[in-house]
Structure 1
Amino acid sequence: MTKHVTSSDIRSAFSAAMSAMYRNEVPAYGTLMDLVGHVNAEALAGQPQLKARLEATDNLERISEERHGAIRLGTADELAMIRRVFAVMGMYPVGYYDLSTAGVPVHSTAFRPVGDEALKRNPFRVFTSLLRLDLIADQGLREDAACVLEKRQIFTSGALELTEKAEKERGLSKEDADRFVVEVLETFRWHNRAIVDGDMYHRLHEAHRLIADVVSFKGPHINHLTPRTLDIDRVQALMPDHDIAPKATIEGPPTRNCAILLRQTSFKALEEAVSFEDGNGGWQTGSHTARFGEIEQRGIALTPKGRSLYDKLLAASRKMVHPAADGSNAKAYEAALIETFQAFPDDWTTIRVEGLGYFTYSLTEKGSETSISATADVDALIADGLVQFDPIVYEDFLPVSAAGIFQSNLGDGAQQQFAASPNQQRFEADLGAKVLNEFGHYADIEQSSLEACIHALTRSPAAD
């Protein structure tokens, strides 16, 4: 019987291959990786307690390997197929994001591993957006764009064949898995020849720059790949010293002692030379701006109560100062964020007691040497020094932040108005599956860790 490699092994191999390819395509990404590695080493050296907790929770090694990527698809068929491809890697659609509310004509999900063990092994994520052609006002352009998209095939025959084989045989051999990574990588590769002529490209570009990016090329090239830093403010400050121009503001919450959710920054999108069909069998040179570098710092996953407070405070901040895409009011916006978010508790104990965030529970050294006769309240176990808690890393995304990254890299013209029209039901029909609820997964991880503590504390000494 053929031995199958694990989906986590395939995901790790694909993440590494993607990183190597993108580093070759976008040299500034390599510079960014080196900078992030330096800042992370500084942060760990300066915060021995943070390093100890990351080691204790099996989260230290994943930091340097952690990535998220982003792609933009054009059709329902492409979305349904990418779901099947990612499933081979143990990645599943989590969450629904409507970016039309922020002037970006897509809706999205994030493909990622969902179990605690798989996340610790390799938490690779791909934020995957589907173009909303229905939001384009020009009917003729909608039809022309749909025609272009219908004709392209973004997956190699090998990728299709191996995905079907993995589904049928419930896994892949080492040889097939290696070939699968090579074949699927082609979907994400940059192509400098467009599949539309210059006139069509400019029509798409006028409708929205992102529409031009999705429709004009052979495949949904990876448009950014994001390492995780432990100090995004430090990276932001150092980027100019490495000839990288960062966006003016960091998306997400302000700097805090207890990081929550997700903070993101990026460098400006590259203007890259591309060729367009000239209508006479030849090519004409032009340019296209889409791919950029991004960095993220991840904090604790918030409960529905915590997320509601976060959304309320973010909305209040943006009501005070709405961030401009060109960064002209960056300082004023940052000041508004800091002022508004004073209402969000900034110590782990209060965040836990008030039910604002998710935590994992584990036995202390004292707890590992103690048995109790009956189940005790978790607060009592913590007070007695038997149980400790650590924040659960937020593995997902923030639609306002994602839109802010898109807009800052696509220019002022990206801030166009579209009717806000969330349509999760349609997205799931195109996907061919329901998206998973992020809150349920965090709650399961928290509950499982607590149950494991209780089981260990109430075990019968005779059973040891």
Structure 2
Amino acid sequence: MTENDFMSEHDIRTAFFQAMSQMYRTEVPLYGDLLDIVDDVNGKVLAGSPDLELDLRRRGELDRLGQERHGAIRVGTAAELSMMRRVFAVMGMHPVGYYDLSVAGVPVHSTAFRPVKLEGLNRNPFRVFTSLLRLELIDDHALRAEATKLLSQRKIFTDRAIALVEQFERDGGLDGESATEFVREVLETFRWHSDTVVDSETYEKLHDVHRLIADVACFRGPHINHLTPRTLDIDAAQEEMQARGINAKDVIEGPPRREVPILLRQTSFKALEEEVRFNDGANGVMGTHTARFGEIEQRGLALTPKGRALYDTLLDAARGEEGSQAHNYEQRLQEVFARFPDDLNTLRQEGLGYFNYRLADSFKPDRIGVSDLEALIAGGVVEASPVIYEDFLPVSAAGVFQSNLGGTEQRSYSATEAQADFEKALGANVADPFTLYEAMEAASMASVRAALGAATASDKR
């Protein structure tokens, strides 16, 4: 509890994450298998690399590893998105980044709700990738009107959840009892419902326009469609998935395997074909729907704009016209990315990635003879460690979405990025990820300078 007897946003976020993880494990048992695989792989990586475990512990990142997840949901209206923003704010999660997935054939644009400061990320880095359906991309006016009508009639939050959000906004926090109730009520928004709100004919029409449109418009709420644990070795996790007979993707999305991981690599098992009841007649008609899948991710160094520009250029070259479906894609990816530096010092010195700076544990004031950062690092006075990438990659997200919506489904939406429209629906601006990473790096450098200054002054006394 805080001094105002409010539960901290970090504790509310952790409680919600734990409740959602338990719910999803019950709904999708294969998710539990993924957790077991990730635990096994991470344990082996740490056992084989004591220096890595020590480094993660020193940076405050070891404890977050076992609880790290990101989830994904899809909402249908501006009102739903705006209320979702208010709900996540109770948990200390704020919109970061804008992603236009329409250019990759997925009719949504998105943001990620997550903690924005290092303390919150290390306490619990839970994130939810949240997409808003773009109804204007439905060319059939009658179907667009049908989808609009369906979405306008649903209410995805309970009355009590809304009241608790309003209480939080009015009072500045929630006490323990109210926070527990908040978690319970908000969890209902993300629960799977096997009964659709449409008949089978309407479902098929929307499904034929795009499977994702049917997934959003034909159900009572934005069921969580995956919950992703973080692994330290996604290649080993992929091999273990296949060894256990799990229907995994053929290609890992994102950059190739490297000595220094960068950005985000993702793989998943294919979406489950789940039994649903369509609203046909008194008793309904049984059918199937595919939406929910299981994903694993590996996170690496956050890249600067310069590093990201190089990454995007190389990725475009590797994908070519065939994208990640090419039979030699992984080999081509490795060859192309040979141009991307693969050691921490070069990445840092060339300004390709963001780093956290700290005084070495062995630091002694009498060793300070220079103020140049490179000399301090070379002399073992200051240590630099990678800032972890906390966000997402639109090409990878679209690749995972498409592979789990059937793989063969393609659309050719034009580049219609509409961040202003998205932010209007959201009711707030999205934070720029680069600005957040830059602030993290700058804060660590300022802390080092302050500590060096204090140590020097103390030594002179």
TM-score (norm 1): 0.96
1:88-127 residue pairs with structure 2 within 5 A? 88-127=90-129
What corresponds to 1:81 in structure 2?
Answer: 83
> Among residues 337, 344, 353, which one is paired with 2:340 in the alignment?
344
> Among residues 228, 233, 249, which one is paired with 2:230 in the alignment?
228
Task: Return the offset for 1:365.
Answer: 2.9
What corresponds to 2:393 in structure 1?
Answer: 398
Distance 2:272 2:137 in 1: 26
Task: Return the offset for 1:352.
Answer: 0.1
What corresponds to 1:432 in structure 2?
Answer: 427
Task: Return the offset for 1:414.
Answer: 2.9
Distance 1:40 1:80 in 2: 37
**CA separation of 1:63 and 1:463: change in aligned 2, threshold 3 A:** farther
Distance 1:27 1:423 in 2: 37
Contact residue 321 and residue 336 of structure 1 kept, 8 A: no
Distance 1:232 1:348 in 2: 20
Residue-pair matches, total: 457
For structure 2, the residue ranges without an aligned partner over 5 or more in a row are none
Distance 1:284 1:427 in 2: 36
Task: Return the offset for 1:193.
Answer: 0.1
Contact residue 368 and residue 457 of structure 1 kept, 8 A: no
Task: Return the offset for 1:385.
Answer: 1.6
Contact residue 104 and residue 414 of structure 1 kept, 8 A: no
What corresponds to 2:446 in structure 1?
Answer: 451
What corresponds to 1:362 in structure 2?
Answer: 358
> Among residues 200, 215, 218, which one is paired with 1:216 in the alignment?
218
Task: Return the offset for 1:192.
Answer: 0.2
SS at 1:294's partner residue?
strand
Distance 2:13 2:213 in 1: 29
- Is 1:385 aligned with 2:380? yes
SS at 2:19's partner residue?
helix
Contact residue 192 and residue 275 of structure 1 kept, 8 A: yes
Residue range with higher mean Cα deviation, 188-197 or 362-371: 362-371
**Alignment RMSD, CA only?**
1.4
Task: Return the offset for 1:415.
Answer: 1.7
Distance 1:275 1:413 in 2: 25
For structure 1, the residue ranges without an aligned partner over 5 or more in a row are none
Distance 1:96 1:370 in 2: 48
**CA separation of 1:99 and 1:320: change in aligned 2, threshold 3 A:** closer
Task: Return the offset for 1:371.
Answer: 6.8
What corresponds to 1:293 in structure 2?
Answer: 294
Residue range with higher mean Cα deviation, 408-417 or 334-343: 408-417
| 1:145 maps to amino acid | A
| 1:443 maps to amino acid | E
**CA separation of 1:370 and 1:452: change in aligned 2, threshold 3 A:** farther
Distance 1:240 1:110 in 2: 29
Task: Return the offset for 1:384.
Answer: 1.9
Contact residue 194 and residue 217 of structure 1 kept, 8 A: yes
> Among residues 305, 324, 335, which one is paired with 2:331 in the alignment?
335
Task: Return the offset for 1:126.
Answer: 0.2
SS at 2:174's partner residue?
coil
Contact residue 133 and residue 142 of structure 1 kept, 8 A: yes
SS at 1:429's partner residue?
helix
What corresponds to 1:461 in structure 2?
Answer: 458
| 1:426 maps to amino acid | D
1:172-251 residue pairs with structure 2 within 5 A? 172-251=174-253
SS at 1:70's partner residue?
strand
Distance 1:50 1:399 in 2: 29
SS at 1:296's partner residue?
strand
SS at 1:360's partner residue?
strand
Q: Percent identity?
A: 56
SS at 1:194's partner residue?
coil
Contact residue 208 and residue 413 of structure 1 kept, 8 A: no
**CA separation of 1:21 and 1:264: change in aligned 2, threshold 3 A:** same
Residue range with higher mean Cα deviation, 377-386 or 190-199: 377-386
Distance 1:320 1:387 in 2: 45
Task: Return the offset for 1:368.
Answer: 4.6
Task: Return the offset for 1:320.
Answer: 6.6
Task: Return the offset for 1:372.
Answer: 4.3
Task: Return the offset for 1:271.
Answer: 0.3
What corresponds to 2:349 in structure 1?
Answer: 353
Distance 2:344 2:188 in 1: 44
Q: String of CA shifts for 1:348-383, please: whole Å, max 9, x gaps.
A: 00000000000000111342544748x712112112
Contact residue 188 and residue 221 of structure 1 kept, 8 A: yes
TM-score (norm 2): 0.97
What corresponds to 1:8 in structure 2?
Answer: 10
> Among residues 353, 371, 377, which one is paired with 1:376 in the alignment?
371
| 2:350 maps to amino acid | E
| 2:452 maps to amino acid | L
| 2:347 maps to amino acid | I
Distance 1:180 1:303 in 2: 38
**CA separation of 1:320 and 1:107: change in aligned 2, threshold 3 A:** closer
Contact residue 74 and residue 131 of structure 2 kept, 8 A: yes
| 2:311 maps to amino acid | Y
What corresponds to 1:131 in structure 2?
Answer: 133
Q: String of CA shifts for 1:14-52, please: whole Å, max 9, x gaps.
A: 011110000000000001101110000000011111111
Distance 2:433 2:412 in 1: 29
**CA separation of 1:421 and 1:183: change in aligned 2, threshold 3 A:** same
1:53-72 residue pairs with structure 2 within 5 A? 53-72=55-74
**CA separation of 1:433 and 1:368: change in aligned 2, threshold 3 A:** farther
| 1:349 maps to amino acid | N
Distance 2:438 2:264 in 1: 18
